[in-house]
Homo-oligomer: A and B are copies of this chain.
Amino acid sequence: MTKKLVFGHSNPDTDTIVSAKAYSYLLNQLGEDTEAVALGTPNEETQYALRHFDEPAPRVITAAKPEVDQVALVDHNEAAQSVSDLAEVEITNIVDHHKFGLTTSTPLFIRAEALGSAASILVKMFDENKVEIPAKLAGLMLSAIISDTLLLKSPTTTEFDKIAVKTLAEIADVDFESYGLEMLKAGTNLSTKSELELIDGDAKSFEMGGKTLRIGQVNTVDIAEVFERQAALEDAMKAENAKNGYDAFLFVVTNILTSDSELLLVGDVTEQVEKAFAGKLVNNRLALPGVVSRKKQVVPPLTAAF
């Protein structure tokens, strides 16, 4: 059996790190030889979860070759979010809950569903394959769902996510609400982060209407505190646009307690952004009440406007 590496997207979040660990564990239980790795160091929220459940962070890689010829992707499927040499290896497995932009030369295994997290899909797959989820892993998978759904409050949350959280909380023996809030708060310690870390830590690139948009997001318990650094944030966004050829940088600051966001824009796409969110940018900022999900509430209206 050829060894496979299992990994999530670059700028890893909790769901991506945990889903790689969970899928690797499942594949190994089913007789494959895999290793979960990551395309970056876990963020503070993920580190809190790993510490809490006493699990190691995956080894960090930047390329799959020459180590392996086959890879399994979790929580992403597009080359732009993956290893630098994705085109040179065979993708044999994908578990994902995002939109698809994928071309393969051979048939492969794909399990995709519009659930709140990739970890939720894996909960189904453990059940279907009659593999038990160990308690520590259950705690991590619970963390992944809580992270991606902001404690089941994001509009991406499905009925199955709620069931999965309850099931996993029982296996892991934690109170998911109090644990979840502590974990989310651990990820909102923004004061120690540089402006670049804030805007780009979780950022993804999107092609819309011939333009390249970079969209970053941070969670906080105090939006105003983040915007105290607005001038420095804008400088960092300008520099990133120039360095990487982005047409625009959108930075979404989300309050996890109130489930609202505020957007900061640097780049010449004012018209499209105002159209997308039916509002006027003032001082490059736009309030997005009720918006917490980049995937469901930021990218689709932007795509439509472009």
Contacts and interface: CB of A to CB of B under 8 A. Distances in A.
Contact of A98 (B101, B107, B109, B112): B107
A303 B104 CA distance: 12
A193 B237 CA distance: 65
Contact of A107 (B97, B105, B107, B303): B97
A100 B110 contact: yes
A101 B300 CA distance: 21
A107 B114 CA distance: 5
A295 interface: yes
A111 B121 CA distance: 12
A108 B110 CA distance: 11
Contact of A109 (B99, B104, B113, B295): B113
B102 A108 contact: no
A131 to B, nearest CB: 14
A160 to B, nearest CB: 12
Nearest to A128: B128
Interface in A249-306: 295, 300, 303
In the assembly, how many copies of this chain are there? 2
A191 interface: no
B111 A104 contact: no
A68 B33 CA distance: 44
A161 B10 CA distance: 37
A159 to B, nearest CB: 12
A108 B103 contact: no
Contacts of A113: 107, 109-110
B105 A114 contact: no
A106 interface: yes
Given A105-B300, A109-B113, 12 more contacts: A99-B104, A100-B110, A101-B103, A101-B104, A106-B300, A107-B113, A107-B114, A108-B114, A109-B112, A110-B113, A111-B111, A111-B112
